[in-house]
Amino acid sequence: MVVKTSELAGTGHSGEVVDAAREHVWVHTLTWDEYEHGGLHVFDRGEGSCIWDVQGKKYYDGIAGLWVVNAGHGRREIAEAMAAQASRLAYANAMNFTTTPTAMLADKLASILPGDLNRIFFSSGGSEAVETAMKIAKQVQAMRGFARRYKVIARRRSYHGQTMGALSLTHAKNEHWFGPFMYGVSHVPHPDRYRSDFGLEGEAADIAAAKYVEQEIENQGPDTVAAVIAEPISTAAGVHVPSKIYWQMLREITEKHGVLLIADEVINGFGRTGTMFAIEQYGIVPDIMTMAKGITSGYAPLAATAVSEKVYEVFKENPTVPMGHLLTFGGHPVSCAASLVNIDIIEREGLVQRSHDNGAYLKSKLEELKSHVSVGDVRGVGMVYAIDFVKNKQTKEKMGKDSPFTKRLQELTMDRGLVTRIWDVMHLAPPLVVTREEIDEIVAIVDESITIAERENADLFAG
C-alpha cells in the first residue's frame, strides 16, 4: 500500500509507516538486531519539548533531536517562512551567486558572532562545515607562503563529523572499516577533570591538556601544522567543561606558532551552553568557527563556517584566487529563511538566558542523582549535561555502552517516555524552551529508571 503524504497526519496509517521504515529506511546507526527487536521508532509530530510517535505515544525530547531543536518543535512561523521562500525562490546557483535570505543571514551572523568572525561560508551540515574549516585553514596557510603547513591537531574522544576528513579528526572511529584516514592528523588528550590522562584534578588537569597541545605542535614541527580544532565543550567526550584558562592557553599557543585555531560550535552554538556561543565563556576569539544544528533548530539542513577578518584578508591580498571549495546547496535560500526566523525566536524569547537559568535548575536536580550507586559524576552547563555511570565510584571504572545496565537503562527511559542517548554517559539536552515542570518530570523518569536498572544489575557494582 502506498500512503500519500497528505494522508500521514495522525495515526491511521501507523502500521504501514512502520512497515515502510523497517523495510526501506536505513536508519544511520541502527543495527539489524535493533530493527528486529523493537529498536526502530518512527516519530510523527512535535510540539515544544515533546514528540509523538506514529502510534500516538508522547515522549520528552531529552536530547533535542540530536542537540538540534533549540527553539523547540512545532514552530509554525519557521515553517511559514520556509514555505514563503520556497514559493518565491527555492534555489539559485550557489557557485557564483547568492540570494536575499543568504545575504541577510550572513549579515545577522556577523553581528552576533564573537570578535571579527564576519565572513561566512555556508554548507548543509556540521561535517561539511568542518571539512570547509580544514580546507580554509590549509589554503590560507599555503597562500601565506607556508605550503608545508597541512597538519591538523584534534583531541582524543572528540567528535567532528562523519565525512572522510571530519571522520579523520573524530579520533580513531571505525578506522578498521574506512581507513586509512586523512594523512597529517594527530590527537592530543581531552581536558577532563574527572578522569584526567595526567592523574590531575580541576584546573591543573586542563592546564596539562593545554600544554600537551603545544608539545604536539613542537613534536610535529610548527612549520607543518595548519590548525588546531576543538569543541569548546565536547558532548562526545562526555560533556567536560574546561577551565577558562584552557582556551586562553590554546589561543596563546596557536598564535605563538602561527597555527590557526578552529572552534567547532556545531553542537554548542545558538544558546545550548547558556551563551549564544560557548566560546564566549572563555574570552577568546578563534580564527575559524563552525556552526550547524541549532542554526535552524533542525527545521532545515544548514551549516556555516565563519572566519576572522585576519584570515579572509589573504583572499583580499590575492583578489583573483577563489576558495578551492564549493557545495551545491551551500546557503540554500529556504534553509537561510528558516535560520533567520529561528535566530529571531531565540533572541526575542530570551532563550539564551533561559538556557542559562533553567540549566542551573537542571543541574541542581541532576546533582541529587549522585546518591545512586551507579552515578559517578554529573557535568554540564546551560542546557547540555551528562550523567557519568560507573561500576565503582572510588576507581571511576566506566559502566560502558554495551553493559547490561546501560542497555536496560535505555529501554526503561524510552518505555517511560524519555528520548535520550546513553553511552558511557547519559546525555540530557532538551530544547531550550523546556519548562521547569518538564525538567522535574524528565529527572523523575531518569531517577526511576536508574533505580530499576541498578536493582536488576546489582552484581555489576563494587561493594
> What percentage of the chain carries pLDDT values higher than 70?
96
Predicted TM-score of the model (pTM)? 0.95
**Which pLDDT belongs to residue 400?**
86
CB 288 within 8 A of CB 133: yes
Query: CATH 3.90.1150.10 spans which residues of the chain?
Result: 41-74+350-460
CB 304 within 8 A of CB 85: no
Q: What are phi and psi of 416, to 5 degrees?
A: -90, 5
Q: What is the pLDDT of residues 61-97, one digit of tens each?
A: 999 999 999 999 999 999 999 999 999 999 999 989 9
In 3D space, the residue among 309, 371, 297, 383 whose CA is nearest the CA of residue 341 turns out to be 297
Q: In the beta sheet, which residues pair with residue 375?
A: 389
Lookup result for grid cell 597538519: 151
**Which pLDDT belongs to residue 352?**
98
Lookup result for grid cell 504501514: 16
**Mean pLDDT across the chain:** 94
Query: CATH 3.40.640.10 spans which residues of the chain?
Result: 77-348
CATH architecture observed for domain 41-74+350-460 = Alpha-Beta Complex (3.90)
Q: What is the pLDDT of residues 382-431, one digit of tens each?
A: 999 999 999 999 999 999 889 999 999 999 999 999 999 998 899 999 99
**What's the CATH fold of domain 77-348?**
Aspartate Aminotransferase; domain 2 (3.40.640)
